A and B are shown apart, each in its own frame.
Chain A
Amino acid sequence: MDATASQLTQTHEHDEQFQTPPGDLAIWFFILAELLAFAVFFSAYAFARANDVALFNEMQQEVDRNLGALNTVFLITASWCVARAVHAVTRLGQNRIASHWLLGGIFCGAGFLVVKMFEYSAKFGAGISLSTNTFWMFYLSLTFFHFMHVILGMVILCVLWVQTRKGGYGPKNANGLESGAAYWHMVDLVWIVLFPLVYVMR
């Protein structure tokens, strides 16, 4: 390819605009519905906090911010791995490489779950429960709601991993992979808001 042709290709790729997001359109409606549910939960937390700032600030001292930050790193890194997996299939047509990236994502996701279970066991061990006070009711229900989404995301990543191992996707046939990836990024996006809201805001 000569310089002009290469330039033309690049220009075309930059100008490329898509009508719909990557993956199945249905997954995006599902993602929007999930985001709405989390928006309600986040707002409820924020306004409950506004009613009792002293309690929330005091109880926040008990949560482990280091573990929260570590889990943010796990989810962001997992999202990056999944994005690289999508790139490997859609741009390079390499299922094998994509399966390695997905495995990296699965490990990071597992890291998140292990850290979260460690946090939960410490809290339950200290006698904290949903009925302790408003802060802990929100902390436990909000983070557990998200925790369940991570578990579903892990199941999806495992399915995608098996599919890539079988060579199931290609540049023209990546709908399933892109849809699963979009779900995983949604789980990451939600945590990106949850972490500062619950662990940092005071």
Chain B
Amino acid sequence: MMTTRRLDLTLAALLAATLATWGIGEAGAAGVLAMIAMLALTFFKGRLIALEFMGLRPVKLFWRAMLIGWLVLVLGLIALAYWIGLPA
């Protein structure tokens, strides 16, 4: 059920996650661990937008799977490309 409290908490979580992502960038963090953290934060944010803001939480699994699946696919491809680009 969509409540204003739920929407407000979603905003707070998204802002906190954005601050964390920005922090990773500011620290100049590089490497596998930093990227895992960055991609996990991105997944967390994207999932919140799909479920809470787009209102997909109470919707049939198919639609949630399409959006979450898109996130997994894109972040997975980014992770794969990052891994390929790592120095041998």
Contacts and interface: CB of A to CB of B under 8 A. Distances in A.
Given A32-B66, A84-B4, A193-B46, A200 B78 contact: no
Contacts of A65: 22, 25-26
Given A28-B63, A50-B85, A13 B1 contact: yes
Interface string A34-72: 011011001100110111010001000000011001001
B55 A86 contact: yes
A90 B80 CA distance: 42
Interface residues of B, number: 53
Secondary structure of the A contact surface, majority rule: helix
Interface string A1-38: 00000000010011011111110000010001001101
A112 B54 CA distance: 20
Tell which of B4, B25, B56, B58 has the most Cβ of chain A within 10 Å.
B25
Contacts of A188: 49, 53
Contacts of A69: 18-19, 21-22, 25
Contacts of B70: 32, 35-36, 39
A134 interface: no
B46 A21 contact: no
Contact of A185 (B3, B49, B84, B87): B49
Contacts of B41: 196
A48 B36 CA distance: 20
Contacts of B52: 83
A102 interface: no
Interface of A: 10, 13-14, 16-22, 28, 32, 35-36, 38-39, 42-43, 46-47, 49-51, 53, 57, 65-66, 69, 72-73, 76-77, 79-80, 82-84, 86-87, 90-91, 178, 182, 185-186, 188-189, 192-193, 195-197, 199-202
